[in-house]
Chain A
Amino acid sequence: MTTPLATAAVKDASQQRQKRMIAEHFERLAAARDEGRKVVYTFVPGNLTELLGALGLLPVLPEINALQSGMRNRSAAYIAEAERAGHSEDVCTYVKCDIGMLKSGNIGPTGTRLPDPDLLLLSYTGCFTFMKWFELLRQEYRCPVAMLHVPYQSDGVITESMRSYVVEQLRRRVVPALERLAGRPLDMDELAARLARSRRAEEDLVAVWESARHRPSPIDGYFGGVYYVGPIFSSFRGTGDAEAYYRELRSEVESRMARGEGPTTPDGPATGERYRLVVEGPPNWTSFNEFWRMFIREGATVVASTYTRVGGLYDTGFRHDPARPLESLADYCLGCYTNLGLPTRTDLIERYIRDYQADGFVINSVKSCNSFSAGQLLVLRELERRTGVPGAFIESDLVDPRYFGKANIENRLQSYFQMLEARRRGGPS
């Protein structure tokens, strides 16, 4: 049985606001050279947006460019361009998409050329490939790099040694490099004010995540969730715009919850929640809506996901703290999802399955991302053993359309939903 889709897809006010924020950011980037503003390329996990913002620096996030290229059907050509230039078919397609985009003129999502970086801020958090990515970009752009090595939480604990290592790097290397670029000293009051705004936005985001405990869930915490994390993962954390966005989003979600409505989808409000799922792993971007609809058609709502925690894990209690600016930036970087050891990741997913009363969980294993993918088959077994909840395992990629096998993925998901249905009826599983 499939859930009928509503036809009218009216964008919420928060969606309109986010769209405007992004457009304005790219306008600022387009005008950066003329206005003498400096541009810093950096990554989503472990981003130091408040620090950049406090110094008037403009961030560019190559992962976001890559995923947007994927959604706009440009990534295949960019990847081919990079592979022609000698980049292996085996490695991360975000990297190849970015290199290919650069070699094709570096045209951003709004159709204008992105400015070259004045500095690469290499926050080495949770992903080894980040380091190689910026080594590659440094060779292309010939600009300086500021490195921030964030230790790995293999045991799921932030030790004082880890924190002080990150803080010392921030204090001695990263902040001075950014100050030199900005041509002015860091105003700690301005940084604290931004961190306070981040904190308020984080409170609202966590309320949005936790709304999914309600039945029906008023949000989709994966497909919808990637839109919800847009501002806080990218260039806006610590801004008034982001704070307003999350306040508005929370209000919309709470209104839907009060009315007993399901999530907003590309085809309008979803109705008839049949299955509540937790999803581990990033989405596929080249067939994003197609992928989402495979869930919508079956009445499956994702009540929690791990991908939406890669740029910050807030629902275990962390908040940016204006009273401890560098320390809390360090804790933020250390706490991003892929910087957590596999046992901690498994515990977190188990918690999501239990807290959000999930009927099942799906692992979307992407070829590009060993940081996520290595070990997921063990996570699958471990979660089934601990919770008794069945899992599904599908494979795709981030932005390489060659690895999105629609029929295969759809067949697997349909079989999985049939199995969930059979279990529900007490039949064989």
Chain B
Amino acid sequence: MAGPLGDCEARLARARALVEDRRLDTVRAWKAGHPGGLAIGHMPVYVPRPMLEAQGCLAVALFGGGDQVDIIRGDSYFQSYICHIPRSTIELALTGDLEPLDGVLFPSICDVIRNLGGMWKLLFPDRYSDYLDLPQDFDPEVGGAFYVRELGRIAGELERRGARPLEPGALREAIARENRRRAALEAMDALRAREPWRVRASEAYLIARAGAALPAQEHATLLEEFLAAAALREVRYRDNVRVVLVGAFCEQPPFELVLTLERAGCDIIHDDLQLGLRAIDGEIRVPEGADPLEALARAYLEQGTAMASRYIGEGEKGVALVRRVCDAAADGVVFAAASFCDPALLDQPMLERALEGAGIPFTSFKFAENTGQFQVIREQAGAFSDAVKLWGKES
């Protein structure tokens, strides 16, 4: 019988298999078990997955090919100064790895992902793809009304392709399942921040990202089981520096990069790696008698976390990051932006200024999803970690 350590390992092994499932075998299996069900892929960062689930669809978050795919055809579609995720996504599509998907949504996070949506229409005119215009006006009567109409439009498109009509009861239930997932994620984040040696950032990353192609309920179960096992396992205390990892992550860093930061003496107590899962802060509330679609939209408007692709109309840029660092009692911030990522790199000077104002040390580097050399990053992160330990905020 497996003990807590074995339970953790088993959950992590499952998570890792899900994360590395670039041929979408899990999705194929789901479709076999749900005849007629649509699998709808979506690019980062945020898509309201409960709406898809309420229509009987499987939402599949796409994060490119990481460091597992040799890019051959994908590179021929993009200039050298475009980030990496669209290349590997095109590669996966052209090699047939995304075949199980019945459609793909492209949310409005940057010009590259937006134009990738247009490329999809040109390359795969017979497959469903759609652009999700997330509002940058956060007034429920203006941006909210537009967003509800936008969601309704997409729901209609899915219905035309065989999905169930969007019914309030089903949506309410899907939101409840999503809230369970969110609660489990928050519990994992809290445990990580409290005892980072008990749940390593690399483990939390795998467990969180494993939900990319899982229904919310199944992912919540995985999270809960992992947490229960992690709470019981024997662990070794580590005297590392506590850092927040910031990258406005659409393109994901190689897993080895997260491990490298840990090996360099950094406990990543908070990150925005799986930004979409944390794009709404807290529970999605659906008051009695309220329209759940409006509630889902309202949660995005009013509980949306500060992220690079979201306009900060009120307040100062970087305040949320400073608050995050302070609340989590972090020692510093590590910026890791994907090369040529406009949202992350244009945001960074503003965030750095806020950190400087608060006396919070930081370091920064860039990566690509298929970066294979980590020694320089390890040395930089190690030097940062040592400096923070030796001189604290003075560094």
Contact = CB atoms under 8 A, between A and B. Distances in A.
A147 B316 CA distance: 15
Given A86-B348, A152-B108, 7 more contacts: A129-B111, A132-B347, A154-B114, A165-B143, A342-B115, A374-B115, A377-B79
A128 B143 contact: no
Contacts of A12: none
Per DSSP, chain B at the interface is helix
B8 to A, nearest CB: 39
Contacts of B146: 151, 161-162, 164-165
Given A86-B348, A165-B142, A370-B82, A128 B76 contact: no
Nearest to B350: A139
Contact of A151 (B76, B116, B133, B366): B133
A341 interface: yes
Interface in A125-177: 127-129, 131-133, 135-136, 139, 145, 147, 149, 151-152, 154-155, 161-162, 164-165, 168-169, 172-173
Interface string A373-411: 111111000100000000000010000000000000000
24 contacts: A88-B345, A88-B366, A90-B81, A124-B136, A127-B111, A128-B342, A139-B317, A147-B311, A152-B108, A154-B106, A154-B117, A161-B150, A161-B153, A168-B141, A168-B145, A169-B142, A343-B118, A343-B121, A367-B79, A370-B110, A375-B118, A378-B119, A382-B122, A395-B79
Contacts of B353: 139
B123 interface: yes
Contacts of B332: none
B121 A342 contact: yes
Given A161-B149, A341-B121, A371 B79 contact: no
Interface in B55-80: 76-79
Contact of B119 (A131, A133, A164, A375): A375
Interface string B83-121: 000100000000000000000001011111011111101
B352 A86 contact: yes
Nearest to A397: B81
Interface of A: 85-88, 90-92, 95, 122, 124, 127-129, 131-133, 135-136, 139, 145, 147, 149, 151-152, 154-155, 161-162, 164-165, 168-169, 172-173, 341-343, 345-346, 365, 367, 370-371, 373-378, 382, 395
A120 to B, nearest CB: 11
B78 A87 contact: no
A376 B150 CA distance: 28
B342 A149 contact: no
B138 to A, nearest CB: 10
Contact of B116 (A92, A135, A374): A374
Nearest to A382: B122
B312 interface: yes
A132 B142 contact: no
Contacts of A173: 137, 139, 142
Contacts of B347: 132, 135
A342 B119 contact: yes
A83 to B, nearest CB: 10
A378 B77 contact: yes
Given A365-B79, A370-B110, A370-B342, A145 B313 contact: yes
Contacts of B106: 154
Interface residues of B, number: 59
B346 interface: yes
A169 B146 CA distance: 11
A154 B131 contact: yes
Given A92-B342, A341-B117, A370-B111, A85 B349 contact: yes
Contact of B78 (A124, A155, A164, A377): A377
A95 B349 CA distance: 12
Contacts of B139: 172-173
B318 to A, nearest CB: 9
Contacts of B117: 154, 341-342
Interface in B329-364: 337, 339-343, 345-350, 352-353
B130 interface: yes
B135 interface: yes
A135 B143 contact: no
Nearest to B109: A128
B77 A90 contact: no
B324 to A, nearest CB: 18
Contacts of A395: 79
A204 to B, nearest CB: 32
Nearest to B352: A86
Contact of A168 (B121, B142, B350): B142
Contacts of A370: 82, 110-112, 115, 342
B346 A172 contact: no
Given A169-B137, A341-B121, A136 B150 contact: no
Contact of B346 (A132, A343, A365): A132
Given A131-B136, A370-B111, A90 B339 contact: yes
B313 A90 contact: no
- Report which residue of A124, A136, A165, A365 has the largest number of chain B beta carbons within 10 angstroms of its beta carbon: A165
A164 B342 CA distance: 29
B133 A367 contact: no
A15 to B, nearest CB: 34
A135 B114 contact: no
A419 to B, nearest CB: 20
A303 B165 CA distance: 49
B105 to A, nearest CB: 11
Nearest to B130: A154
Given A86-B349, A128-B111, A341 B131 contact: yes
Contact of A343 (B81, B86, B122): B122
B110 to A, nearest CB: 5
Nearest first, the 7 closest Cβ-Cβ pairs linking A and B are A342-B118, A154-B131, A132-B346, A149-B136, A165-B146, A374-B115, A88-B345
A210 to B, nearest CB: 27
A85, A169, A365: which has the most chain B beta carbons within 10 Å?
A: A169
Given A90-B81, A129-B346, A374 B112 contact: yes
A215 B137 CA distance: 48
Given A86-B352, A136-B346, A152-B108, A373 B137 contact: no
Interface centre among B76, B108, B133, B346 (most CB of A within 10 A): B346
A110 B317 CA distance: 33
A367 B339 CA distance: 13
B118 A341 contact: yes
Contact of A373 (B79, B119, B141, B350): B79
Given A136-B350, A343-B118, A149 B79 contact: no
B313 A147 contact: yes
